[in-house]
Every structure is written in C-alpha cells, then in structure tokens.
Structure 1
C-alpha cells in the first residue's frame, strides 16, 4: 500500500460524514494541555472537550490527566494535533471515530479506565496510551474487543512514520498500518 500524505490521512478521518472524530489526549505527554485546550475552545477551534478523570482535580492532576476532545475538521487545533503533535510528542494518545455524542463517548472512555485481573482485583488502565494499546489489543478476547469498540467505529494510533487503524468486526481485531509520506 503506498504511503499517504498527512493531509490524505486527515481527510480519511472525516470520510464518513455521520461520524465525529475525537482525540483522547494524554496530559502527561503534552505539557500545558489543559491551557492549550481552553485556548482552543475560546478560539472555537474544537467542538468540546472534558477531562476523563472525574471530579475536582488538583492542578498537577489536571496537567497529567487524559482528555477527550471532539475535533473539528477545519481547525488550527486539529492541524496542530495531527501534524505537529504527532511528530513532536510521540505517543500523545489516540483518535476515535464514532457516531455517538460527546457525553456518551466520554462515559464510555471513563468506564474503560479500569481492568480486572485474573485474581479478581481491579487496576487503573491507561488504555488510551498507544504503548498499552499495542500490547493489549492483540491479546484481547472477542467480548473485550466488543466492549472497547462498542461506540467506536475506528481507533487510530498516529505516529510520525505510520498511522494504525484499528476496528473490531464480529469479535475480531482488524489492524491496518498506513505509512505516512515524509
């Protein structure tokens, strides 16, 4: 498959007009993320955003937290995220394509933040970290994939050399890596 330009990859995200494109961004990877999001919201560069950690957070926690952001296709913030942050911040988070409204997707993302171990105990799971996804997605059982992907048509891991498009169909993981033109 030939490499695609970043602009072609961006266009592919919005190819289905019935789906919205969301970013789940890791504050621990992008310094000053809450302030950047607030500025983008004031400039009307994003549709909406919220922290995935519920409740009142201390300033340090807000800086480290993951955020769900509904992206606009024609926005300086979206271009910054897809082109500059992807090249400069490495594994900053993931993109999600979904037909669900923002609040429903936020609830789903929050619910995915805990995993049950074989011994029955629970642990916090930063599922939106690309390194974690690369490790757990291939090992996930069909019902686990269906739970994660229930409101998500496509999950995209963006990198400077390639983007990985992930989906589930009939309880099976589909992963397609797309090279990015230099």
Structure 2
C-alpha cells in the first residue's frame, strides 16, 4: 500500500500484461451493480455521434430549453450494464481526458437519470443559477470530499458508487455511498506502482 495524490490509500494490483485501460474496465466490470457512464459532449464532439448508433440506452441529462440550446454539448447518461466490451471501449476512448465518470447503480435508467438531473443546475449563494459539471472527474473528485453528510447522502441517492480518474489518471477513485469518510478508495492502475 502507498499514498496517492488524492490523500487516500492505493491498493496496488499486479496484473501482468494488462494496460491501464484494461484494469479500469476490469474493476468496473467486477461491480455487482450495473454500470452507467456519464460522458460530457462538450469534452468531445464525437460522443453524441458515437452514441447514436451504439444500441445502448442513453439520453442527455438536459431537458427542455437547456437541451435545445446546448444540444450535443451536454452530459449523456449511458447504461452499459455489464457489457465488458462497451465498458472497455468507453474507458479506452476517454480515460485520462476528463470525458466523464462512471457509477454503479441497481436502479433502472429512468430512476438514475431523474436523480442525476436534480444536480445539473444549482443555485449559488447569490441566488443565480449555474450548471454544475459533477460529471467532470476534475469537479467530482474535488466536490465529494467536501460534502457534508447530508449533501453526500442527497447527492448519491440510489447510486452505490461513483468512479473517477485521479488527477494523473494513474488511479481509479471509488466513492462509496456508505463510506465512513468522504475520501475515495484509490486503486493504482500501473503494475509495479
């Protein structure tokens, strides 16, 4: 075991011959609950096009006017379930580029989407509204450790686990709803770390 940048502790998996992407996909596939991805159309314009013919259930987290104005620039919820190839493909495409985050949840797509939509627009202290980019791993890994217990429970709702890349993308950060502390479990992805 050794410390990681996030301040948590990393358990090192030695997986000869596996790439960093393979390790991330393997960790996600091993989850008991189905896997969802939230990918940011603003980070890569190819994301909406890739989703169009994918066959996976997906939908923007934006509705109404926001969906009309922002179109393909918004966050997309994708239900990957336990499809190993799809999980590996999305990880390989976006890992290390802050394209999105993953989550494990045993609830149906509509329940997950309805819950996450509650956080796309937030009210600031001055009363103004702003889009909250929680699906950006750079935001999620800073936001969650600073939540109060009540904020943590409200944000997670039915979701059991959120996953995000670390700052250098060499670790997978796992935030558990039922964790004792708001710090993530940090899993090193490089062999010999």
2:26 corresponding residue in structure 1: 11
2:126 is equivalent to residue 140 of structure 1: no
Q: 1:120 to 1:169 in 2, by over 3 A?
A: farther
2:76 corresponding residue in structure 1: 67
2:48 is equivalent to residue 38 of structure 1: no
Report deviation, 1:72. Answer: 4.0
Equivalent pairs, count: 173
2:134 to 127, 133, 142: 127
Spell out the pairing of 1:83-122 with structure 2 (5 A cutoff).
83-87=92-96, 90-122=97-129
Query: Equivalents in 2 of 1:9, 1:92: separation in Å?
Result: 14
1:149 to 149, 156, 159: 156
What RMSD over aligned residues (CA atoms) do the two structures have, in Å? 2.4
Does 1 or 2 have the higher relative contact order (CA < 8 Å, sep 6+)? 2
2:187 is equivalent to residue 178 of structure 1: yes
Report deviation, 1:137. Answer: 1.5
Structure 2 residue matching 1:152: 3-state secondary structure: coil
Query: Equivalents in 2 of 1:122, 1:165: separation in Å?
Result: 29
Query: Equivalents in 2 of 1:33, 1:175: separation in Å?
Result: 27
Check whether the contact 1:34–1:62 (CA below 8 A) recurs between aligned residues.
Answer: no
Unaligned 5+ residue runs, structure 1? Answer: none
Under a length normalisation based on structure 1, what TM-score does the superposition of the two structures give?
0.82
Query: Equivalents in 1 of 2:128, 2:70: separation in Å?
Result: 24
Under a length normalisation based on structure 2, what TM-score does the superposition of the two structures give?
0.78
Query: Equivalents in 1 of 2:92, 2:45: separation in Å?
Result: 17
Q: 1:141 to 1:62 in 2, by over 3 A?
A: same
Query: Equivalents in 2 of 1:109, 1:170: separation in Å?
Result: 20
Query: Equivalents in 1 of 2:105, 2:154: separation in Å?
Result: 14
Q: 1:101 to 1:162 in 2, by over 3 A?
A: same
Query: Equivalents in 2 of 1:63, 1:109: separation in Å?
Result: 18
